[in-house]
Amino acid sequence: AAPGFTGIVELHNTIFFYLIVICVGVFWVLGSVMYYYNSKNSPIVYKYLNHGTLIELIWTITPALILTIIAFPSFRLLYLLDEVTSP
């Protein structure tokens, strides 16, 4: 196979790995919340969590970091594939 195609396949595998890790994490958290939450035992809302600044900061920065991690290999591959060779 051509080196460019090999790079594309490796980039796909890397991005797919990140996708699997994110999906497993999200489904694990969602499943644990659905399994452990009982409204009868905890009807009182957590009184110190009124604005959620920290959690908003976390779920804003985390996707930006993930996109940055994915962007570096894709830009590297893009520049390698754009290499002009004389015939």
> What total number of domains does the chain contain?
1
Token pair recorded at residue 65: 């970091």
Name the band, by pLDDT with cuts 50, 70 and 90, for residue 60: very high
Question: Over 70: is that where the pLDDT of 43 sits?
Answer: no
User: Is the residue at 43 inside a domain?
Assistant: no
Looking at residue 11, its pLDDT comes to 92
Find the DSSP H helices in the chain: 3-36, 53-81
Q: List the domain range (segments joined by +) for residue 86.
A: 52-87
The model's pTM: 0.71
Bigger pLDDT: 66 vs 85: 66
User: What average pLDDT score do residues 54-76 get?
Assistant: 91
Which residues, in sequence order, are CB contacts of 8 under 8 Å at separation 6+?
A: 77
Looking at residue 75, its pLDDT comes to 92
User: Is the residue at 70 inside a domain?
Assistant: yes
User: Is the residue at 61 inside a domain?
Assistant: yes
Alpha carbons 83 and 85: distance in angstroms, whole number: 6
